[in-house]
Amino acid sequence: MDETQTPPPPPPPHDYTQLTQVRVPLEAAEEAFSERDATGRIPIVVIPLKPNRIRNEFVGIGLLVGVGGFLAGRYFNLPYLIPIAILAGLILVILGVYKSFFLRIPEGVSGLMVRAGKYQKTLGSGTHTVPPWFLVSHLVSRREIPYDAPAVEALTKDNVRANVDTMLTFKIVDPYRFIYSISAPDFDQVFQAACQDTLRSMIRRINADQVADLKKQDKEAFVETLNLDLETYGVSCSKVSVTFAQPPADFVHSQEMRQLAVFQQAEQTEKQSLAKRRQADDEALARQRVIAEAENEALRLSKLEERLRMFPLAAKWDWDGQRLEVSRALASNTRAMLRVTNANDIFHSFFIEEPMENGQKISPRPEIHPED
């Protein structure tokens, strides 16, 4: 960038002006209150271009007719023309003055009347009979007027900059105090400052995570505080609505990431708890199986003991038969080793007779264990 080049000027600050006053003829006042001006602002005060309500055109024509007829009658020697001209001129003057006694104030508007530049009274909407020397100085709207009051980057209790936008409605309850205290454009600036100051004070008392809940909070304290500032100007605020309330985008993103981490941690904790419960259930099932097997084994042994008590010879026969089968299986193994614990085992292994089988004696065989 060329160092000699001057930087561009900063952009002008945003113009939040929303209220204004206009000058139009008295008969066009009603239309002026119902339309925004060229800049999109709402007229709340109308100043009549011609406070004097006398129809000067009728009066002028009447005077011209009367004076002209009088001079023409004298000049042309027509005496009958003089009274006719004077009567016609008088009628026109009366018509011009007569209508000025009737004053119509548009609906939803108050009219301030002055005489010789001094305030006299305030008239409401409708048609009134008022002498023409009482002039309409101002017409003031009595309707509920919407007003947008944003608060950009207002600090919260935890020092986070939040953006909040509010929509207020106010009403001019004392037109005289309003007109003689401040103009409409000046009131716009004062009202904007009062709204933002009150709104920033309200935001300063809450944390950033509570900004989004401003729409649900009670605004009665906000309205009361604001009305204390507006009372001087004869204005009353009736309603406040928070239309937008949000912390900065990076703060919202960090909050979302923190919430996501909390959810993930809770999910992981739940999975671990579920795994522990499943392991505990498996261990409990294993213990139940062991207990069941032990009970079955105990039952089997109990039944076996009972059979042994009831049939001792049959049990001895079964035991000897098993020994005999083992001895026969190992008889042909030349590498078999005989394990004995005492001399009686040797004696029994070689000399004890086998039990009778089909009426014949079977020689007992020693207990032999094969050599590995």
SS3 8: coil
pLDDT at residue 82, as a whole number: 77
Identify the CA nearest to 54 among candidates 114, 134, 132: 132
Q: What is the pLDDT averaged over residues 217-241?
A: 88
CA distance 151 to 165: 6
215 with 245: CB under 8 angstroms? yes
Domain membership flag for residue 5: no
pLDDT tens, residue by residue, 95-154: 777 778 888 899 999 999 999 889 999 999 999 988 888 989 999 999 999 999 887 778
Q: Which of 66, 124, 120 is nearest to 96 (CA)?
A: 66
Of residues 237 and 353, more confidently modeled? 237
pLDDT tens figures, 143-191: 999 999 887 778 888 888 888 888 999 999 999 999 999 988 899 999 9
Question: Is residue 14 in some structural domain?
Answer: no
Residue at 209 is within a domain: yes
Give the range of the structural domain holding residue 50, as residue numbers without chain letter.
19-141
DSSP notation for 164-183: EEEEEEEEES-HHHHHTT--
Residue 23 lies in a domain: yes
Asked if residue 4 is part of any domain, the answer here is: no
pTM: 0.59
Which has more confidence, 98 or 234?
Answer: 234
Whether residue 228 is found in the same domain as residue 280: no
pLDDT tens digits along 323-351: 777 666 666 665 656 565 555 555 455 44
Residue 172 and residue 239 in one domain: yes
Are residue 115 and residue 24 in the same domain, yes or no?
yes
Structural domain contains residue 10: no
Query: In 3D, which of 171, 187, 169 has the Cα closest to residue 243?
Result: 169
Residue 2 within a domain: no
Domain boundary among 260, 293, 310: 310
Q: Are residues 36 and 75 in the same domain?
A: yes
Q: Considering the domain boundaries, does residue 8 fall inside one? A: no
Same domain, 132 and 223: no
Q: Do 127 and 221 have their domain in common?
A: no
110 neighbors 128 (Cβ within 8 angstroms): no
Residues 49 and 117 both lie in one domain: yes
Could you tell me the pLDDT band of residue 49, with boundaries at 50, 70 and 90? confident
- The DSSP-derived string for 215-272 is GTS--HHHHHHHHHHHGGGTEEEEEEEEEEEE--HHHHHHHHHHHHHHHHHHHHHHHH
* SS3 of residue 94 by DSSP: helix
* Position 258 pLDDT exceeds 70: no
Residue 258: CB atoms within 10 Å: 10
Say if residue 306 is in the same domain as residue 322.
Answer: no
Shared domain for 127 and 175, answered yes or no, is no
As for how many domains the chain has, the answer is 4
